[in-house]
A and B are shown apart, each in its own frame.
Chain A
């Protein structure tokens, strides 16, 4: 019996079952495999991300960044750092609450890793049907993401309490205050997305953005989600709970070695997950110009997903290079007095748009092509590869959105190119200085020549 399947892992499971394995055994093997692949992917991603951040921050701050370990690009720097952390002594403070202290890094790291389970990385067409690169296409994925985001904060509080350090405790208390204030607008921003898409599954949400990316009708929600997303990942300018100039290192002041590395991993993984969520909710997930056609769909969709998410990672890094830190009470005031009313108004507008079938909001609720039609390939290829034929039939909002998405694609490609160029080739902070040295050398050579 072949069960109707939608994810790539389920396709693999079907393959195993065709070889004669039982359903349960195949399911367990495939889920373990899937999670392993995602976890390894996450670790490699974080290593790349830390390097990327350090190089880009170096670019912003007129310095080269890591450029020793692994040649000029410094590509082995994070690996070397990880190895160093592995060898470090694991110090436990005498007055630490030991069980809490030991459990905290895992309580912070695991939820972030678990968030990856529902992220749709892309899509491929296998045997005429869509297979999504997602471990599990949960139908309550939005709720799941929110829950995991909150569980992570319990780990932070555990670390703050368990360390037996006042700075750590202050950092953790700030985390609580921050959680209460930013979680509400975050949820409301997602409510408008869910209303717009009519589903809580991330795959569905991406699919409903076939003709219009959700950012166009939901721009305020995007702004709210972006700001609260920065707060959720504790990045500058909301890095209150690990503000090094105030509370030393916040909740992980007392951690060293690999336990600290887990916090570090969790932070950077959360940055990427948040960027990926922004892409999924507002920027059409893996959708983009599918220039390779159906055969290369697995590659193009993955490429666009990663390109867009790294664009937002770049924004996060850019923030860190630009902004000072906001104060804890100002964050709460901003959250309650500005973001929350804005989010409520946004939800009302979306509700109005859906009820009255405004083309900006209902274009995606009632898909032009039903899923069955798309699957069976009746309409010639798939709906988001915009052909000149379909362009003629688009409504005005869809046409505007299409224009913006083409522009966006160009911007993403240019910025990504610049980012990779700077990361790989590096940045010479003082060209003037370099030129001076060159001139001096030339003069020295001239002097030698004249002798």
Chain B
């Protein structure tokens, strides 16, 4: 790590007459850029971070235990609230776990609608990440531009599901409501315009020399460290590991679509940034393909209002906006899960923060934290 700031020998040479002290800095839980109620205890030498310890759990709601007392259809709106910026992915997580224990035949139209929604949700989530990341780096304007585009996606979700944030849309057997021609019209308009908007954003922000200087070679996470720490999603791909569950462990109808997996080279903040932007372009491409191939037919299979699963256990995982979103479900054959465990991507990605931050400046900490893209609801469950 040639570019990391190392402790100069000067300090040791003059240690007899110069006394310095390490500063323990408490960042959060009330700090403008911890993305929620996260507390970071940083030991710094001046502004250089020596070590960092995230303290989590301020938002713990006991959702896993809570799930054990609920029927499967009730789990969907509950887990919506876990990662509130990517509700569709949470819906799909619960649904796919239940479906895996039910041996359900999902109609093809429903699968296509699901893919459209999941990829739109990925774009929306990445747009929100872009907004907050730009804010962390000190630029306020991209926030408004990104949220303006995200608003269009949310309008689409509202047309489909009636809700704007927590959709409760994907359910065992299919989706809750069919999509309308008006929705398709609006969606095709969005897909047409969105790549141009991304170009605009890159012109405004990506090409900025100040941003490049701040993001390049900062918060480096090597390939080995990334794998050892169990990070996933854009953080892992930014570190140069081409691991995407949509390709490597295909679920739903993803094998039918053509898309690329962006991979970083240096594993720094800029790589994670680029990976997310490329993913937005690819998600647009997938949505376009899904729109073209959208078959007619049922949008939901026949499922009883409160389904029963067979006894057994299952682990399903999917590539959500923030990384690998896994769900471990144990059922005793009733209407409620016996054990419901979720592997949130934000939680494991946050674990890599200390490795990424050591040796960098305090100002880098904020931008590195922004580049991980955590949602505290997802971390604390």
What residues of chain A have their CB less than 8 Å away from a CB belonging to chain B? 57, 60-63, 166, 170, 173, 236-237, 239-240, 243-248, 320-330
Q: Among A62, A246, A248, A326, which residue has its beta carbon within 8 angstroms of that of B144? A: A62
Task: Determine if A324 and B144 form an interchain contact, defined as CB atoms under 8 angstroms apart.
Answer: no
A100 CA / B52 CA spacing, docked (Å): 32
The number of chain B residues with a CB under 8 A from chain A is 32
Measured between beta carbons, the chain A residues less than 8 angstroms from B136 are: 245
Nearest opposing residue in chain A for B24, CB measure: A166
Given contacts A246-B362, A248-B31, A322-B141, contact A328 B47 (CB under 8 A): yes
| Interface hits, B351-381 → A, CB 8 Å | 361-364, 366
Task: Determine if B144 and A61 form an interchain contact, defined as CB atoms under 8 angstroms apart.
Answer: yes
Dominant secondary structure of chain B at its interface with chain A: helix
Task: Determine if B140 and A320 form an interchain contact, defined as CB atoms under 8 angstroms apart.
Answer: yes
Nearest opposing residue in chain B for A166, CB measure: B25
Task: Determine if A321 and B141 form an interchain contact, defined as CB atoms under 8 angstroms apart.
Answer: yes
A147 CA / B138 CA spacing, docked (Å): 30
Task: Determine if A327 and B214 form an interchain contact, defined as CB atoms under 8 angstroms apart.
Answer: yes
User: Interface code B204-233, partner A: CB below 8 Å = 1, 0 otherwise?
Assistant: 110010110110000000000000000000
Task: Determine if B363 and A246 form an interchain contact, defined as CB atoms under 8 angstroms apart.
Answer: yes
Task: Determine if B148 and A330 form an interchain contact, defined as CB atoms under 8 angstroms apart.
Answer: no
Q: Among B46, B140, B361, B363, which residue has its beta carbon within 8 angstroms of that of A61? A: B140
Task: Determine if A330 and B214 form an interchain contact, defined as CB atoms under 8 angstroms apart.
Answer: yes
A440 CA / B26 CA spacing, docked (Å): 52
Task: Determine if B148 and A323 form an interchain contact, defined as CB atoms under 8 angstroms apart.
Answer: no
A236 CA / B46 CA spacing, docked (Å): 23
Measured between beta carbons, the chain A residues less than 8 angstroms from B214 are: 324-327, 330
Given contacts A237-B210, A245-B33, A320-B140, contact A327 B364 (CB under 8 A): yes
A329 CA / B143 CA spacing, docked (Å): 26
Task: Determine if A324 and B137 form an interchain contact, defined as CB atoms under 8 angstroms apart.
Answer: yes
Task: Determine if B137 and A325 form an interchain contact, defined as CB atoms under 8 angstroms apart.
Answer: yes
CB distance from B39 to the nearest CB of A (A): 14
- Contacts A321-B141, A328-B363 known; 5 new A-B pairs at CB < 8 A: A57-B140, A243-B363, A245-B138, A248-B31, A324-B139
Measured between beta carbons, the chain B residues less than 8 angstroms from A324 are: 134, 137-139, 205, 208, 210-211, 214
CB distance from B107 to the nearest CB of A (A): 34
Task: Determine if B361 and A329 form an interchain contact, defined as CB atoms under 8 angstroms apart.
Answer: yes
CB distance from A51 to the nearest CB of B (A): 18
Measured between beta carbons, the chain B residues less than 8 angstroms from A329 are: 361
Task: Determine if A62 and B366 form an interchain contact, defined as CB atoms under 8 angstroms apart.
Answer: no
Of the listed residues B31, B137, B205, B361, the one surrounded by the most CB atoms of chain A closer than 10 A to its CB is B137
Task: Determine if B32 and A248 form an interchain contact, defined as CB atoms under 8 angstroms apart.
Answer: yes
A170 CA / B148 CA spacing, docked (Å): 35
A350 CA / B148 CA spacing, docked (Å): 50
Task: Determine if A323 and B32 form an interchain contact, defined as CB atoms under 8 angstroms apart.
Answer: no
CB distance from B52 to the nearest CB of A (A): 14
CB distance from A338 to the nearest CB of B (A): 12
Task: Determine if B141 and A243 form an interchain contact, defined as CB atoms under 8 angstroms apart.
Answer: no
